[in-house]
Amino acid sequence: MFSRQAMARILITSALPYINGIKHLGNLVGSQLPADLYARYCRARGHEVMFICATDEHGTPAELAAAKAGQPVAEYCAEMHGVQADLARGFGLSFDHFGRSSSPQNHRLTQHMAGRLAEAGLIEEVAEAQVYSPADGRFLPDRYITGTCPACGYENARGDQCENCTKQLDPTDLINPRSAISGATDLEVRRTKHLFLRQSALRDRLDAWIDSQRGWPVLTTSIAKKWLHDGDGLQDRGITRDLDWGIPVRRGTQDWPGMEGKVFYVWFDAPIEYIAATAEWAEAQGLPEDAWRRWWRRDQGAEDVRYVQFMGKDNVPFHTLSFPATLMGADHDGTEPWKLVDYIKSFNYLNYDGGQFSTSQGRGIFMDQALAILPSDYWRWWLLSHAPESADSEFTWENFQASVNKDLADVLGNFVSRVTKFCRARFGEALPEGGAWGAQETALATALGARIAAYEGHMEAIEIRKAAAELRAIWVLGNEYLQEAAPWATIKTDPERAAVQVRVGLNLIRLYAVLSRPFIPDAVETMMAAMGCADWSWPEDAGAALEGLAPGHGFSVPEVLFRKITDEERAGWAEQFAGSRG
RNA sequence: GGGCCUGUAGCUCAAUUGGUUAGAGCAGAGCGCUCAUAACGCUUUGGUUGGGGGUUCGAGUCCCUCCGGGCCUACCA
């Protein structure tokens, strides 16, 4: 953890959303949104932040989605990248760069990494038999082959596992196998050669590295340990595929004999894109190479960088094992010390109303639909305050309505409303003059100081739900103070006392805007604008923060910050989203 | 089959890693306030911590067992 005041350099990456379609809220809360929360908090504390994300564009599903859309895959990916970038902006995701794994930078770097791994003796060529479909003109991944399960007779068993009896299968086990893509039955087995990353050779080193980490989520370490020690231990992993769309297999800048026409597998090139996207950023900014290297190379400035990754639990094996193995292997001779991750924040899944969110079945709420219904802050607040940190969690419309209405509209929004409207009615649209602090104000400052410290602690530990709960408690303090101070009563007997109370109330609005910014970045802009203030400095001292806006400072009454969700709307949306996506 | 996670108030979640009387928010009940988006504040009801057994001075926490929910199991990403 970084200490108070000290400026740190924080590198943050969110797992890359796959290019195949618009992401649902479960995807969003599992990586990009919490990463954004943390990035915004770190910036607010004055740290230097590099927040990177990108679309993950390679692989069979991308090719199939493009074919379905009737587009060339490159065109499809370019278009979908634009769509995802727009939606990311819509949700306020504050990436420093939102790149593409298909970028020239990633091509170069992925090929470079492969070359370094080959030099290190960590790449092995393996010849294997794979199912080829002449009708589709492609090799078929195991689960794109369906047929009758030899164990239970289920007719739509997939080539990797029968969904009916859960038996693990080999595609050649299937009776009457056919292509899941075209239905073609003229499948044949062909020999093909692939590169394997010899992760097994790095097992002990990876194991020791995992052991040396402190405070990682149980979810992260338990998945890593399972893969390291289960069965025969960490298995080598194929890093190439027989596809057209991807990064051509090259050994650095050299051709790789025998690998013509093959591309790297997405799970090799996708994490490397974290680095390449930073290079994309530098180029886009017109900055030289060392601008990105100082984030990624320990010999070129990254020694003091703290690197934090965010991802759903399905991504953990790649980030705890494969990617570190790639970076360790690339530094086999000590000349390329790449920055390894310092903290991996992993998430469970968000379910939707009794089942899973499903991209393929169109079940649940997708990012574009969410924004069409309500502003992003409503979603950000609910998703973050219910982030699936300790277990899978569930979205229900009732819960969403209750949280939005109570937390945002009543506790925070109404606070802003009652303070500004009272002041305007009794003192006019400027902070009133006169009066001095009493015991109530001092007590408020003390309580705020304690809660802000707790909030900071939770944010730095990336305990998101706890941070949200603490922030809400900070909002509540304002209502408690007003109730006790009762300026509507004191103004009748002691107007100067009421003036002090109203000043404190108005200053609380600015304080809340600053503290709440990582969660609800749009609404706090409205709050700050209403306060006529542009000072976003973090409250190092709560008492001082309550006197930041001076007597005489003008303000205005903002529009309703958060409207309530009605029962009719809730019922309508529940109905609308029950079935599959339009 | 194997492994991991999980089960705490009607609902969503805590519980400083074995330490006093298991705590919050929402929902419910009562009271107060009238500045405010019929909002806010205070008080309060509600738990055999899934069942059973064990270790211990002491168990929500550790062990065994049974029951329920979920995830992973390496070619979807």
Two structure tokens written together for A147 = 């047929």
- Kindly provide the b/e burial profile for residues A552-576, where b requires at least 16 CB atoms within 10 angstroms of the residue's own CB: ebebeebeebbeebeeeebeebeee
CB A366 within 8 A of CB A24: yes
| Nearest C-alpha neighbor of A442 from the set A416, A481, A415, A473 | A481
Instruction: Give the distance, in angstroms, between residue A222 CA and nucleotide B58 C1'.
Output: 30
Number of residues assigned to chain A: 582
Instruction: Give the distance, in angstroms, between residue A6 CA and nucleotide B40 C1'.
Output: 39
Nucleotide nearest to A318 (CA to C1'): B74
3-state helix, strand, coil in chain A (%, to 5): 50, 15, 35
Instruction: Give the distance, in angstroms, between residue A162 CA and nucleotide B1 C1'.
Output: 14
In chain A, the largest separation of any two C-alpha atoms, in whole Å, equals 92
Taking the C-alpha atoms of residue A366 and residue A378, their distance in angstroms, rounded to an integer, is 14
Chain centre to alpha carbon of residue A354 = 23
Nucleotide nearest to A410 (CA to C1'): B39
Instruction: Give the distance, in angstroms, between residue A43 CA and nucleotide B16 C1'.
Output: 29
Chain centre to alpha carbon of residue A235 = 28
Kindly give the pairing relationship between strand A175-179 and strand A157-158.
Answer: unpaired
Instruction: Give the distance, in angstroms, between residue A51 CA and nucleotide B73 C1'.
Output: 32
E-assigned strands of A3-90?
Answer: 9-14, 48-55
The CA–CA distances, whole Å, from A488 to A95, A413, A479, A518 equal 45, 19, 14, 33
Taking the C-alpha atoms of residue A77 and residue A21, their distance in angstroms, rounded to an integer, is 10
Angle at A531 between CA A530 and CA A535, to 5 degrees: 125
Closest CA to the C1' of B74: that residue is A235
Instruction: Give the distance, in angstroms, between residue A387 CA and nucleotide B13 C1'.
Output: 11
In strand B, which positions have an atom below 7 A from any protein CB? 1-7, 11-14, 24-27, 32-37, 39-42, 69-77
3-state secondary structure of A18: strand
Nucleotide nearest to A266 (CA to C1'): B77
Instruction: Give the distance, in angstroms, between residue A530 CA and nucleotide B40 C1'.
Output: 22
Q: From the DSSP assignment, how many helices (H) and strands (E) are in chain A?
A: 22, 19
Instruction: Give the distance, in angstroms, between residue A464 CA and nucleotide B63 C1'.
Output: 33
E-assigned strands of A145-235?
Answer: 145-148, 157-158, 175-179, 188-197
Instruction: Give the distance, in angstroms, between residue A472 CA and nucleotide B60 C1'.
Output: 26
Nucleotide nearest to A234 (CA to C1'): B74
The CA–CA distances, whole Å, from A549 to A431, A444, A487 equal 8, 17, 18
Nucleotide nearest to A355 (CA to C1'): B70
The CA–CA distances, whole Å, from A318 to A243, A245, A374, A575 equal 21, 21, 35, 38
Closest CA to the C1' of B41: that residue is A483
The CA–CA distances, whole Å, from A308 to A42, A227, A324, A340, A344 equal 12, 21, 13, 10, 6
What pLDDT score does A285 carry?
97
The pLDDT averaged over each successive group of 10 residues in chain A (582 residues) is 66 93 89 95 96 93 89 95 96 97 97 96 90 86 80 74 67 82 86 91 89 80 82 84 92 94 91 97 97 98 95 88 94 96 88 75 85 95 89 85 94 97 97 95 95 92 90 96 96 96 98 97 97 96 96 97 94 79 44
The total of other beta-carbon atoms located within 10 Å of residue A266's CB is: 27
Closest CA to the C1' of B77: that residue is A18
Nucleotide nearest to A57 (CA to C1'): B77
Instruction: Give the distance, in angstroms, between residue A222 CA and nucleotide B71 C1'.
Output: 12
Closest CA to the C1' of B26: that residue is A402
Which residues have C-beta within 8 Å of that of residue A563, sequence separation ≥ 6?
A: A409
Nucleotide nearest to A407 (CA to C1'): B25
Instruction: Give the distance, in angstroms, between residue A300 CA and nucleotide B49 C1'.
Output: 53
What pLDDT score does A163 carry?
65
Nucleotide nearest to A235 (CA to C1'): B74
Kindly give the pairing relationship between strand A48-55 and strand A97-100.
Answer: parallel
Report ipTM for this prediction: 0.90
Phi, psi at A181, each rounded to 5°: -85, -50
Neighbouring-strand partners of residue A363: A358
